[in-house]
Structures are given as structure tokens and as C-alpha cells.
Amino acid sequence: MARRQTRNDNLRLVLARESARIMAEHGIDDFLLAKRKAAERLGVTERAALPGNQEIESALSEHLRLFAGRTHVHHLRQLRELALGTMRNFDQFQPKLAGAVLNGTATPHSDITLHLFADPAELVAMRLMALHVSYAIGERHIRFADRIEEYPVYGFEQDEVQIEMTVFPAILLRQAPKSPVDGKSMRRAGITELQNLIETCQA
């Protein structure tokens, strides 16, 4: 017998959709922040009613499909083509695309997230300078299955899109970080896989 929907089930769905709307319209990419803003806006205080990240990502996909339609598909293709061009410029670092642009949930506010592999990381800076690209450098905490570590991030803007390249040691090429959405190994795509994705127009 099918389980009856409870009040919390309905609240979770409403909150997931509101969180998705906030992410799509306000450029928020932090699931926790989005769900907190959604709960505050709707006056929900029950922790059991808060949706999980996967529920929000699913609601975000639905929101983009319903309210952005072909515009979203076109924008997503543009972002993926820009990511592909950048990856080809840095192909010696075995680049991989990750995040919303790969997963199909990129909004007009989304950055392009790339993972590069270099020893030392400064080789990426040298390549950026060779390409005459102005960049900023920062750091990011990345979660793996058994640890959290800090890695350098090189950021720059191209065609009014922010591109962020996190640089890992080459030894970690086949060890994907944990996804912030479901806690599993993060989905990533290399140049060939991304090109195939673009050609088949998959979101």
C-alpha cells in the first residue's frame, strides 16, 4: 500500500520548489543557504520539513525546464562550449568539468567549475600568463571520502562568465571529491565526454 503523504512531505516539496526558485533567480549556489532563505520566507521552522539537496536539485531542474525552457537549453550549451574551449587551452592539465554546467542545472548566475591536475599548481598560473589572462587566486576546501583538504583556485572572467579552476595534485586525477548534492563521488567530464554531451544536446 502506498504511503500517505504527511504535512511534512508537502512542506518539503514546497520548500524544495521555493529553494530552487531562489537559486535560479538570485544566483545562490549554496543549497543550505537557499533552503534557509526558503524556510524563512515561508515561515517554516520544523527541521523535519527541510528538503535534502537532491530534492532541491530535482526541483531546480524542473523549475528551469518549466520557466526557462529553450532559453535554458541555449544558455547551457553556450556555457558548455565555453567550458570546452577553456579545457582545450589547458589540456596539458587533464581538465575535467564539474558542477551545475555539467549537471544541467546552471542558471544565468552560474560559474563554470573546472578541475585541473598539475605538479606544482603554479604551472597553471604560468599557462594563464602565457595566454595573457588576468586572474585571481584563492583557496577552496574540498571534501573527499575520508578527509577535507585545501586546494588553490584560479578564477577569471571570459565572455561575462566566471570560470574557476581548482588545481589538484596529479595523483588525485582518478579520485573524485564528494558531491555537495548527494555525498557520492562527484560527476566530472573530460574533454571528449563534454564534446559528446554538447553534440547530443543532453541537459
Q: Which three cell numbers stand for residue 34?
A: 537557499
Choose the final residue of a domain: 67, 89, 104.
Answer: 67
Count of domains forming the chain? 2
Task: Give one DSSP letter per residue of 118-134, joined into a string.
Answer: -SSTHHHHHHHHHTT--
Choose the final residue of a domain: 67, 87, 106.
Answer: 67
Asked whether the predicted pLDDT for residue 187 surpasses 60, the reply is yes
Place of cell 583557496: 139
Q: What is the pLDDT of residues 45-97, one digit of tens each?
A: 888 778 999 999 999 999 998 888 889 999 999 999 999 999 999 999 999 99
Q: What is the pLDDT of residues 92-136, one digit of tens each?
A: 999 999 999 999 999 988 999 999 999 999 999 999 999 999 999
Nearest alpha-carbon partner for 94 in 123, 134, 73: 123
Confidence band for 5, pLDDT divided at 50, 70 and 90: low
Report yes or no on 27 lying in a domain.
yes
Contact (Cβ atoms closer than 8 angstroms) between residue 194 and residue 87? yes
Q: Report the sign of the C-alpha dihedral through residues 59, 62, 66, 71, in that order.
A: positive
- 165 and 134, same structural domain? yes
Structural domain containing residue 17: 7-67
- 108 and 74, same structural domain? yes
Global model pTM greater than 0.85: yes
pLDDT of residue 176: 94
- 53 and 14, same structural domain? yes
pLDDT of residue 7: 66
pLDDT of residue 1: 42
User: What b/e string do you get for 55-85 counting C-beta neighbours within 10 Å, with b at 16 or more?
Assistant: bbbbbbbebbeeebeeebeebbeebbebbbe
